[in-house]
A = this chain, B = another copy of it.
């Protein structure tokens, strides 16, 4: 019998993409097994708490990635460099608009109520970290916060529109515009 052995981090990454594409409710266990090639037994072995545990761990994993790759740099001692890098990280992570934000998608239906703290925490920290970097880079508190909020809103909106219209260039244009907006404000 030929079989592939997965480790849990592999499982997390694979299942994450299924949730991202199908949403929480649309991602039945059958669809998850079919798309990941992990069996039901394996999935429950790694995630004894079931589907909800999968989603929670995936979100924690995504959050941790953002903390390392984006939030902590923004909270660090080189705000301008971190802000510049944020755009690259954002473009890369969302595959230039071809990949939706799983946490944002979970926010839109009642899935939000299962994971409200995680969802809120992720977006709150993103805005706070960016606002903090803008503040350190020289903007007033009010201006920093408004721009941070505008940037994260623009990113989420661009992901939705890019997907709705089947046009990835929308995401690229929006990132460039938002980046320019922040740079102009910092000059």
SS class of chain A's interface: helix, strand, loop or mixed? helix
Residues of B close to A38: CB separation below 8 A = none
Interfacial residues of chain A within 6-51, with CB under 8 A of chain B in the complex: 21-26
A104 touches B164 (CB 8 A): yes
Number of copies: 2
Closest 8 CB pairs of A and B: A157-B157, A25-B26, A153-B157, A107-B164, A23-B109, A25-B25, A156-B157, A105-B108
Residues of A near any B CB (own CB < 8 A)? 21-26, 100, 103-105, 107-112, 116, 119-120, 122-124, 146, 149-150, 152-158, 160-161, 163-166, 170, 173-174, 177
In the complex, the chain B residue whose C-beta lies closest to that of A170 is B149
